[in-house]
A and B are shown apart, each in its own frame.
Chain A
C-alpha cells in the first residue's frame, strides 16, 4: 500500500505537470483539490484518464470521483480495490 501511494504521487506529479513538487511534499491525508495541491477541474479529468491508463479503472461518475480524489489515502484505497492492471 505504501508503494502504491508513492507510485500514485509520482504519477500525479507527472500527469499534472506539478513542477517543483516532489513525492515528499504530498501528504497522504492532505486534500488534493481546493487547498493542498490546488488541483482544478481539468486535473480531475486528467486523474480519471490516469486511473484508466495505469490501472484499467473506468470512472464515469463525477460525484463519486470527487470523493475518490479527496486525498492520496482515498485514492489509494479505491485503486487497490478496483484495479485491473
Chain B
C-alpha cells in the first residue's frame, strides 16, 4: 500500500499545504503573487525569474511540498489541459508579423510543457523518471496505477504527481507526494479530493 505524505493546493492567491493555509496574497495577478510567494520562501534561486509562468507555478508548489524531502529518486508525473499554451502565445506574438519577427530563445524553450519537469529535476537534483501528460481532466484512472507501478517495480522511490493549470492568468497547482508512508492512502478518492481543491480530506 502506498500513501500520500503531503499535498499542496494553490489557486486564487492562496496556498494550502496538507489542508492548512500556508500563504495568502489574494490581491495580485500571477506574476506578483509568484514573486511574493518566492520571496516568502527565502530561497536563493535567481533562475526562478527566467522561468515562464507554468514553470514558476510548478517550482513554487514543488519547493513547498518537497521541503522535508531528502530522497533523490522522486518520479515526476504532471498533467494539464493546455500544455504550454500560456507561453506558446507569447512565442507566436514574436513571429506573427514579418516586420517584427524576433523569436526569443528564452521564450521558445518554454513552449514545451515538460520543461517544468526539467526545472524541478534541476532544482532538486532528481535524476529520475518523469512524464508530462495532456488531458481534459486529471486522469486518476491512469496516473494512480502508473505511480504505484513505478514505485513497486523499483523505478522510483517516491512520486510527485499532480495538475498544473496556467492559462490567461488563471492558475491552479494541485500536487501530491506518494511514498511508502503518509497520512492519506494513495487512492482514487484522496487524489480526486486534492485535485478538486477539496480542503477537508
Chain A contact residues, CB within 8 Å of chain B: 15-20, 38, 42-43, 45-46, 49, 52-53
Contacts and interface: CB of A to CB of B under 8 A. Distances in A.
Chain B residues touching A, range = 10 to 19
Interface of B: 35, 46, 49-50, 102-106, 109
Contact of A17 (B49, B102, B103, B105): B49
A21 B144 CA distance: 43
Nearest to A43: B106
Contact of B102 (A16, A20, A38, A49): A49
A69 to B, nearest CB: 14
Contacts of B104: 46, 49
Given A19-B46, A38-B46, A45-B105, 9 more contacts: A16-B106, A19-B35, A19-B49, A20-B49, A42-B105, A42-B109, A45-B106, A49-B102, A53-B102
A49 B46 contact: no
Q: Is chain A's interface secondary structure helix, strand, loop, or mixed overall?
A: helix
B106 A46 contact: yes
Contacts of B109: 42
A27 B180 CA distance: 52
10 contacts: A16-B50, A18-B49, A19-B46, A20-B49, A38-B46, A42-B50, A42-B106, A42-B109, A46-B105, A49-B103
Contacts of A46: 104-106
